[in-house]
């Protein structure tokens, strides 16, 4: 049986204590970095909630740079000037996309059988999808109801 000497045990104990101390220090440092990061994230989330959806919002990626009050005011002014232009473009784009979708839907209805078309019309007129918007219903049914379906879409109709 090998007996360890007292200095060997002491050395082992010191190595274990050093490892424990190093682990504790690393844990404390990583915890501190985590807390700082979490606090900054909470601050940015507060910025998002505070700013809401108004036209003078500063993008969070810029706000996160730690702006001075004068810079914040200037960025709010810039946003107030540009956001209405962007909103108008988005509104216009949404209308164009809605028209494309209605055209696509109208042609898709042409590919359905007469029975499927009748069931779809009944469903939307009874309060199903898009029932609150008669313009959408009218646009989607225009080809079917006017009997102007493209000839290649009528192959499925029976």
pLDDT for res 78: 92
* pTM beyond 0.85: no
Q: Tell me the DSSP string of 84-136.
A: HHHHHHHHHHHHHHHHHHHHHHHHHHHTS-HHHHHHHHHHHHTT-TTTT-HHH
Rounded CA-CA distance 153/116 in Å is 14
Pick from 72, 69, 46, 70: nearest CA to 57:
72
Q: How many CA atoms lie within 13 A of 72 on its CB side?
A: 10
Does the pLDDT value for residue 148 go beyond 50?
A: yes
Most trustworthy range by pLDDT among 10-19, 120-129, 148-157? 10-19
pLDDT for res 41: 63
Does the pLDDT value for residue 23 go beyond 50?
A: yes
For residue range 73-110, list pLDDT tens digits in order: 999 999 999 988 988 999 999 989 988 988 898 899 99
For residue range 27-82, list pLDDT tens digits in order: 777 777 766 666 666 665 655 545 444 557 888 888 888 899 999 999 999 999 99
pLDDT for res 157: 44
Helix axes 69-110, 134-145, angle to 10 degrees: 30
């Amino acid at each position: 049986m090998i007996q360890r000497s007292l200095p060997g045990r002491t050395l082992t104990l010191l190595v274990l204590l050093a490892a424990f101390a190093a682990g504790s220090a690393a844990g404390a440092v990583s915890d501190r970095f985590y807390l700082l990061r979490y606090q900054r994230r909470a601050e940015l989330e507060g910025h998002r909630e505070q700013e809401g959806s108004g036209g003078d919002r500063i993008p969070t990626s810029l706000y996160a740079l730690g702006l001075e009050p004068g810079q914040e005011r200037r960025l709010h002014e810039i946003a107030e000037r540009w956001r209405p232009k962007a909103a108008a473009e988005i509104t216009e784009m949404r209308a164009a996309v809605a028209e494309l979708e209605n055209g696509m839907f109208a042609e898709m209805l042409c590919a359905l059988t007469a029975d499927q078309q009748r069931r779809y019309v009944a469903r939307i007129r009874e309060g199903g999808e898009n029932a609150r918007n008669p313009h959408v219903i009218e646009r989607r049914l225009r080809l079917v109801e006017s009997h102007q379906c493209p000839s290649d879409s009528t192959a499925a109709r029976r």
